[in-house]
């Protein structure tokens, strides 16, 4: 399975809603309608950053990035098919002008693409309201192997925690890839590859206040291997376009 995030940065956070509306209701639907992308996506989800005032500092592990209007999730069974679709000349002719419009109208720079190895920690039938992303940067003295070992221990602890299971409906640990991201190196998208991330963690919750009760102990454990000053959090709600999740 191939998984990749596109992280967008807004030129003006006050226009985040406008940017979200355009990408979801015009751009993403145009991509899905194009013949080159028929059957390509196993998951295509846009997570929209919540409006100011929805989440306070106590509701997240790290400082929140309000300049991120959305995080786009691409999941495919076959990365080669995704690459082929991106490089399709008819697709590029149809979609490229729209991508250029989004970049010039809403964004402060090109999207950042990050490839990941998805590791499911917890999944319950209920779909929660909020999807919280933590972009984890590892401490300089911690190598990649040690970082992943710490992260796996955290996964085991949370999966066995009744307290955490009562708060979160789903938890995913995504170990960031070290090479060039497919979206960045294929199809002339203009995107860059996100560098320096150890993992991106996703947690689905209904109550940010309840979630905040488990954050102090979690942060204490993270301090062993995560650079808290360089890491950040994004609180979102999901807009599902294509999904394989029940």
Q: Please name which of 233, 210, 57, 64 lies closest in space to residue 133, comparing C-alpha atoms.
A: 233
Residue 41 has, within 13 A of its CA and on its CB side, a CA count of 23
Domain ranges (residues) in the chain: 2-242
Residue 93: strand, helix, or coil:
helix
**Cα distances (Å, whole numbers) of residue 148 to 36, 56, 177, 192:** 36, 29, 12, 24
How far, in Å, CA of 246 to CA of 244, rounded?
Answer: 7
Q: Please name which of 242, 245, 246 lies closest in space to residue 82, comparing C-alpha atoms.
A: 242
Burial group, residue 118, by CB count within 10 angstroms (0-12, 13-18, 19+):
middle
Q: Which pLDDT tens digits describe the chain residue by residue (246 residues)?
A: 999 999 999 999 999 999 999 999 999 999 999 999 999 999 999 999 999 899 999 999 999 998 999 999 999 999 999 999 999 999 989 998 999 999 999 999 999 999 999 999 999 998 899 999 999 999 999 999 999 999 999 999 999 999 999 999 999 999 999 888 998 887 677 888 988 899 999 999 999 999 999 999 999 999 999 999 999 999 999 999 998 865
CATH dotted code for 2-242: 3.30.70.100
């Amino acid at each position: 399975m191939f998984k990749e995030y596109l992280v967008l940065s807004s030129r003006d956070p006050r226009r985040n809603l406008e940017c979200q509306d355009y990408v979801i209701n015009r751009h993403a639907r145009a991509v899905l309608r194009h013949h080159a992308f028929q059957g390509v996506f196993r998951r295509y989800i846009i997570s929209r950053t919540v409006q100011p005032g929805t989440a306070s500092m106590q509701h997240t592990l790290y400082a929140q990035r309000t300049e991120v209007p959305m995080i786009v999730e691409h999941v495919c069974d076959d990365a080669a098919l995704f690459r082929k679709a991106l490089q399709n000349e008819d697709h590029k002719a149809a979609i490229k002008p729209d991508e250029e419009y989004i970049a010039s109208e809403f964004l402060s720079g090109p999207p950042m693409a990050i490839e990941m190895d998805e590791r499911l920690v917890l999944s319950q039938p209920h779909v929660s309201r909020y999807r919280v992303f933590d972009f984890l940067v590892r401490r300089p003295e911690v190598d990649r192997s040690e970082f992943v070992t710490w992260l796996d221990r955290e996964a085991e602890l949370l999966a066995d925690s009744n307290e955490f299971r009562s708060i979160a409906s789903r938890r995913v640990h995504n170990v960031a890839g070290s090479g060039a991201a497919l979206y960045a190196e294929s199809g002339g998208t203009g995107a860059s590859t996100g560098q320096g991330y150890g993992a991106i963690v996703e947690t689905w919750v209904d109550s940010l206040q309840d979630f905040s009760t488990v954050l102090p102990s979690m942060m204490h454990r993270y301090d062993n291997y995560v650079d808290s000053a360089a890491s950040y959090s994004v609180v979102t709600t999901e807009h599902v376009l294509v999904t394989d999740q029940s």
